[in-house]
Amino acid sequence: MLTRKQLDLLDFINKRTIRDGVPPSFDEMKDALNLRSKSGIHRLITALEERGFIHRLAHRARAIEILKLPEVLEHRESGGFRPQVIDGSATSRPPEALPVERLNALEVPIMGRIAAGTPIEAISQKTASVAVPGSMMRSKGLHYALEVKGDSMIDAGINNGDIVVIREQTHAENGDIVVALIEGHEATLKRLRKRGNAIALEAANPAYETRVYRDDQVKVQGRLVGLIRTY
């Protein structure tokens, strides 16, 4: 028997995994269940695992496999889809993932590497190109791609070596994952938070601290709209 919070969390993980191909982060779970801290999510996750509804792989971000659903959630399922562990290996490829060649693909320039970790020198020139599904570029504007270097955004489902698709823009909403140019010469991929006259660049990995800058020290160069991973 599951509590209401346990059931709500299991339902949220299942729906988000079906939609995005990866389980949600602990921050997303916390916000969805309106909890004040991630410790509550840890307790709910542990309870679900003890009851045999999910399985976690140690030391892997977002590595949650749903083993079964209670009847009340089974009735909501239309296709019987069962999400698999997403850990970057060939055997864990999301069942609903489609090769780019089957989609309405467009060529987008890869403008080099972007740091998901310690900021590196700003990106400035095209190094190659990649075929990107047209569904990733539904918003108007110029788009470009970057290869991710580092693991600071791993809890957001962004791994070292992934290709991120960026919509070129100079503004962002709170919580957007952006390409941020710091003091005109360092570029990084982080989640942006506005704090009065300051801007916080948040990592999605507890091993990295949030960095706070004056708003005139940070310029948004684009917003994350998609991700491409090679299995």
Burial zone of 107 (CB within 10 Å; 0-12 exposed, 13-18 middle, 19+ buried): exposed
Catalytic residue flag (residue 140)? no
Element (H, E) at 40: helix 38-50
Dist CA 198 CA 111 (whole Å):
28
Tell me the one-letter amino acid at 9. L
Catalytic residue flag (residue 149)? no
From the candidates 39, 68, 190, 194, give the one annotated as an active-site residue: 190
Please give the backbone phi and psi of residue 147, each rounded to the nearest 5 degrees, phi first.
-90, 130
Within 10 A of 130 (CB to CB), how many other CB atoms are there? 17
From the candidates 78, 152, 194, 219, give the one annotated as an active-site residue: 152
Is 163 in a helix, a strand, or coil? strand
Detail the DSSP E strand segments found in 68-206: 105-115, 120-121, 128-133, 143-149, 163-167, 177-182, 186-195, 198-202
So which residues are the catalytic ones? 152, 190
